[in-house]
Amino acid sequence: MTDVQQPLDRLIDRRAFLARTAALATAATVGTVALPGLAGIASAAPSPASGPAVKFNPELDKGAAYNKPRESVMSDPTEWTLSEAAWMIRHNKIVPVELVQAYLDRIAAYDSTYQAFNLVTAEAALKAARQWANRPYRGPLHGIPLAIKDNYFTEGVLTTASSYLFQDFVPPYDATSVAKLTVQGGIVLGKTQMGPLATSRATLPNGQVTTINAWTPIDPSTNPGGSSTGTATAVAGRMATSGIGTQTGGSITAPSNAQNLTGIKPTMGRVSLAGIIPLTYSRDHPGPLARDAKDAAIMLMAMAGPDPADPRSQGLPPVPNLINAATPRYEGGNLRMRWKTRIGVLPGYADGTSETALARQAFLAKMAAIPECELVEVPLPDEWDLLTGSAFNNVRLPERSEPFMPYLRDDLRGFGVSVTSWLQGCLLDANGYVTGQRAKLLLLERILDQIFGSCDVVVQTGPVPFDIVGLPEIAFPIGFTGGGVPIGTILGGLPYAEDRLLSVVAAYQAVSDWHWQRPPNPPAAASAAARSAAAVPDRGRLTAEEVAELTQ
Amino acid sequence: MAPTPPTDDQLNTLIVAQLASLGIDLDQLPAGTVADPVTGSPGRDSVLASLRSFMRSTVPALAGYQMPTPDAGDPATAMALSQQPAPMLYPSISTEWRKP
């Protein structure tokens, strides 16, 4: 034997390392030498003052991204889905400034009732629209007006997260997601109302209810879903073509379900969290709230991918073409699943005779009738209620308090109505925190083995379990209550299975029409009353106890 | 023998002391149970009641959780739990990173 295993330091290519070091030294001296690989890292790494480096993604510009508007809505640009508006712009049937103006007109007419936005950047949006009209075509987001939740950094534009703590905060750069959307041609219409620091439904920091469910404009008590409420109401109320939110414990899926939208919460890491005010760094997920699966796919594909500014987003599988995945597949004129799919049905999901149960039964029956779709009963994993229940969900709380310690020391009242969970986070001992981290892995492995051992996607009765472990979920409409309030449901998937989830919802939306329904405009009286501050009826105020109860 | 559960007063002292050790003064909140009329911040007594509930529910529930015995072995030999899976902050990401 001549070979003796070398220690690891002998296995590193020291010559290449030294060569790179020498080249770097030269570059530092001369300042003009391009270094493949190294130069890219240097330019992509954001500094707090410069923001993320993002690039135009030509993969978005696929034929499947464009749909000619339905005849029934051809005359109203605010009725178009994103893919329909994209078709109209691509075919020069409308210019971006006309589309933006149509939305600004609706905002002017109705947002005093909806209160979906806390800031409308009308002039900047019109300016951007005029600029995009004279630039090379960028794909389906070219000239598309978007609503941005107010916890995403927007360069030069107030970003409050509905909190006293950030009431004067003007970020010096865009969040990576915002930068990615705008480099593709998206136009920011404004920032949307949200629950304080992404807790509860949208309110002012003191708990005063602001945003209403677009489906019940004369009943502010109807839950619009939180905490991405404003984005949901903006899209449902046809005040933006699409929008983005964040989810830590249901904040994309809940408002999507409440307002007849299709929202996708991607796998943890699939979308960068850089430039987003954090709530819980191991569980925050950025994602779109859209009108249907195709729109959600376009938005998510623009947002997704590795970001040097967020290590959670790196070392993951490449982003597949989600737009194709969200395109219904037909053979001989007959709809089929894009991929053969087994839908797991958890115990009790569709039991009973409530409106929700009946809608769930009808949804499952529709899916079962699509060729290559199979329903399978799956069990709840061992200790499901315990591992997804309150105590183990609370493991997230120290992640909430630790980054905010200076604020907690300075003035507790700065947290307004949502202070309680930050104080709870200060009290959870490290022993329990570590136990909780171990339990998350145990829960994930049980989900993978005991649920996904026999199915490809699974219905959800709540968003929290998959938020705890970072798995993807998609929310979409499946009906209405007798009172005209939307009913939605949630499907969960394997890690990085956003394409599969979108394909299932696209197939369902090809055989259902819930997602085409739009809420009626607010009655003129409601809008007029809302415009008069003195006449605005009190929408109520959430107490700290209620916020603690609602907070995920 | 199990220790006697703490009383409300003992828990209040613990909570106030723990927060004070972090530099947080609970007295910044309004006294009593009435919320601050401007900011909506809850009254101190309301917060203390909520924090006591947290200390009596979440903290012992997590501390008392027994991870399952590896490979269905003898529970008696697993009491030390020295071979538990490593804690994971991001389990879905770690699943991808752990692939061969």
Q: What is the pLDDT of residues A455-490, one digit of tens each?
A: 999 999 999 999 999 999 999 999 999 999 999 999
Q: What gap in Å lies between CA B78 and CA A92, rounded to an integer?
A: 69
**Contact: A443, B91; criterion CB under 8 Å:** yes
- Is residue A418 a contact partner of residue A494, using CB atoms and an 8 Å limit? no
Picking from B24, B84, B93, the nearest residue to A409 by CB comes out as B24
Out of A205, A408, A423, closest to residue B47 by CB: A423
Mutate to test the interface with A, among B39, B66, B96 (most CBs of A within 10 A): B39
What residues in chain B have per-residue pLDDT under 50? none
pLDDT the model gives residue A240: 98
> Token pair for residue A306?
């590795």
Please say if the pLDDT value at position A532 is more than 80. Answer: no
pLDDT of A252 over the 60 cut: yes
Per-residue pLDDT at A44 exceeds 60: no
Q: DSSP state, A287?
A: E
Q: Can you tell me the ipTM of this complex?
A: 0.95
Are residues A193 and A117 in contact, defined by beta-carbon separation less than 8 angstroms? yes
- Tens of pLDDT, residues A402-433: 999 999 999 999 999 999 999 999 999 999 99
Q: Is the separation of the CB atoms in A229 and A216 below 8 Å?
A: no
Q: Is A227 a catalytic residue?
A: yes
Per-residue pLDDT, B99: 83
Share of chain A above pLDDT 70, in %: 88
Calpha distance A422→A282 (Å, rounded)? 16
> pLDDT of A160-214, one tens digit each?
999 999 999 999 999 999 999 999 999 999 999 999 999 999 999 999 999 999 9
Residues contacting residue A342 through CB under 8 Å, at least 6 positions apart: A374, A375, A376, A454, A455, A456, A457
Mark yes or no for CB contact A206/B39 under 8 Å. yes
Look up A294 and say whether it is catalytic: no
- Asked whether the beta carbons of residue B59 and residue A429 sit closer than 8 angstroms, the reply is yes
Rounded distance between C-alpha atoms, residue A183 and residue A128, angstroms: 11
Q: Which residue of B has its CA nearest to A205?
A: B39
Catalytic residue among A83, A162, A177, A227: A227
The band of A14, judged by pLDDT with boundaries at 50, 70 and 90, is very low
Query: How does pLDDT run across A347-380, given as a tens digit for each residue?
Result: 999 999 999 999 999 999 999 999 999 999 999 9
pLDDT band, residue A390 (cuts 50/70/90): very high
With beta carbons under 8 A apart, name residues in chain B contacting A424. 50-51, 54, 58
- Give residue B67's pLDDT: 85
Q: Do strands A486-493 and A242-247 pair parallel, antiparallel, or not at all (unpaired)?
A: unpaired
Tell me the C-alpha distance between A516 and A69, whole Å.
12
The residues, ordered by sequence, that sit 6+ positions from A7 with a Cβ below 8 Å of its Cβ are: none
Calculate how close chain B gets to A345, using CA atoms only, in Å.
22
Q: What is the pLDDT of residues A289-347, one digit of tens each?
A: 999 999 999 999 999 999 999 999 999 999 999 999 999 999 999 999 999 999 999 99
Residues B41, A419: C-beta atoms closer than 8 Å: yes
Whether B31 contacts chain A with CB within 8 A: no
Residue A25 or A482, more confident: A482
Task: Say if residue A139 is exposed, middle or buried (CB neighbours under 10 Å; 0-12, 13-18, 19+).
Answer: buried
Residue A47 has pLDDT above 50, yes or no: no
- Average pLDDT along chain A: 91
Residue A28 has pLDDT above 80, yes or no: no
Q: Which residues of B touch A432 (CB under 8 A)?
A: 58-59, 62-63
Alpha carbons within 13 angstroms on the beta-carbon side of residue B71 total: 3
Substitution target from A312, A401, A413, A452 for chain B, most B beta carbons within 10 A: A413
Q: Which residue has the higher pLDDT, B49 or A18?
A: B49
Question: Which of A200, A228, A251, A421 does the annotation list as catalytic?
Answer: A251
Tokens of A502: 């979108």
Single out the catalytic residue among A149, A191, A265, A440: A149
Q: Are A293 and A505 in contact (CB under 8 A)?
A: yes
Please give the average per-residue pLDDT across A255-274, as a whole number: 98
| A315·B62 Cβ contact <8 A | no
Chain A residues touching residue B65 (CB < 8 angstroms): 386, 435, 439
Longest pairwise C-alpha distance within chain A: 92
Query: CA-CA distances (angstroms) from residue B51 to A48, A78, A427, B62, B93?
Result: 36, 47, 8, 16, 33
User: How many CB pairs below 8 Å do chains A and B form together?
Assistant: 173
Residue of B14, B34, B62 to mutate when probing chain A, most A C-beta within 10 A: B62
pTM of the model: 0.91
* Higher-scoring residue by pLDDT: A422, A536: A422
Interface check for B91 against chain A (CB to CB < 8 A): the answer is yes
What residues of B are in contact with residue A316 (Cβ under 8 Å)? 93, 96
Contact A432 B62 (CB under 8 A): yes
